[in-house]
Amino acid sequence: MSLSIKDDEIDIVIGALRPDLTSFMNEWRTIFSRFHLIIVKDPDLKEELKIPEGFNLDVYKKPDIDRVVGTSTSTIFSGYSCRYFGYLVSRKKYIISVDDDCYPAKDNKGILVDAVAQHITNLTTPATPFFFNTLYDPFTEGADFVRGYPFSLRSGVQCALSCGLWLNLADYDAPTQALKPEERNSRYVDAVLTVPARTLMPISGINIAFNREVIGPALLPSLRLGGEGKFRWETMEDIWSGMCVKVVCDHLGHGVKTGMPYVWRNDRGDAIASLRKEWEGVKLMEEVVPFFQSVRLSREAKTTEDCVAEVANVVKEQLGSKDPMFARAAKAMVDWVKLWKSVGSST
């Protein structure tokens, strides 16, 4: 853990889609217990949450969400999107967010991975989006910039987002997992790297961390599949949000890293059953990816909020007519910016 980061600059936000968080919290106890946690209960979840003792946390449930944003708005926080409420109400600089079906992983030496520490290291060392370093993150211990790396680019830029990975159940889509039902990710890749500028990628919401002060408003609940469900196979909300974040980061000159830390993602759900629901999302990505690759923000967009508003506008203009889902997403993005300004602003 970086000595210059105080524990009280960090919030750990967990979206609870299942009521019993006992084993989840106990597995993470040694890593989480020194931090403040925000647990947001999926407003659709009827059962009471079970949370073990010994943590410093705030729990938000439907009535709390209703109170803060109003009952009509609180629907945007349904399902996996409940975590965004936690991002909204946090007042910390760094947020780390992990799905409630993930445990700490072990590295190749069998040592438990402190995902929080690794995310913080990623966020507090520079990113290098303008030129690819073949030895990956040059700020890692034992690594550096390679021959041929321009010196003027070696100070890098601020890293705004850290995208972690998953052992065991990888974040595959339903068709892929259904075709390879036994496949589990057992490859621990000992690297962090910066995603190059203007390169987009599917940013999974399962294991991420970000600098809330820098890009908070860009992580947003907006695209909701018609059949969105309670398994990641049945959602695209994080992928959509991630595309927005990357476009905004590229425009504002912030970095995005990917790679470590890994979490261990437990087996859950049935890919074949989810196939029907996610097919919609799979089809949408055919439009979504080329669209985001073509988005260019104006020079006037200098803040994250401005960038998000501009993206929303382009979504509305170029995608809105293709599918009502996009039109709704565009509106949700605009509403989010307003919500962020009124509720999420830390001043």
Residues that bind other proteins (CB under 8 A): 108, 131-136, 140, 142-153, 163, 165, 170-173, 175-176, 179-180, 183, 185-191, 195-204, 232-233, 236, 239, 242, 258, 282, 285-286, 288-289, 293
Q: Give whichever of 185 and 313 is closer to other proteins, judged by the CB atom.
A: 185
In angstroms, what is the minimal distance from the CB of 71 to other proteins?
Answer: 31
Q: How far apart, in Å, are the Cα atoms of 64 and each of 224, 252, 293?
A: 22, 34, 38
Rounded Cα–Cα distance for residues 155 and 308 (Å): 27
In angstroms, what is the minimal distance from the CB of 66 to other proteins?
Answer: 31
Q: How many CA atoms lie within 13 A of 46 on its CB side?
A: 0
In angstroms, what is the minimal distance from the CB of 299 to other proteins?
Answer: 18
Q: Give whichever of 67 and 180 is closer to other proteins, judged by the CB atom.
A: 180
In angstroms, what is the minimal distance from the CB of 8 to other proteins?
Answer: 31
What one-character-per-residue DSSP string does 202-240 give? ---SSEEEEEHHHHGGGS------TT--SSGGG--HHHH
Rounded Cα–Cα distance for residues 98 and 258 (Å): 15
Q: Give whichever of 215 and 223 is closer to other proteins, judged by the CB atom.
A: 223
Q: Give whichever of 176 and 313 is closer to other proteins, judged by the CB atom.
A: 176
Q: How far apart, in Å, are the Cα atoms of 178 and each of 165, 167, 182, 202, 283?
A: 20, 18, 9, 19, 17
Rounded Cα–Cα distance for residues 122 and 194 (Å): 10
Q: Give whichever of 205 and 344 is closer to other proteins, judged by the CB atom.
A: 205
Neighbours of 345 (CB within 10 A): 12
In angstroms, what is the minimal distance from the CB of 138 to other proteins?
Answer: 10
**Cβ 308 vs Cβ 218: under 8 Å:** yes
Q: Give whichever of 91 and 187 is closer to other proteins, judged by the CB atom.
A: 187
In angstroms, what is the minimal distance from the CB of 44 to other proteins?
Answer: 22
Find how far residue 15's CA is from the centre of its chain. 12
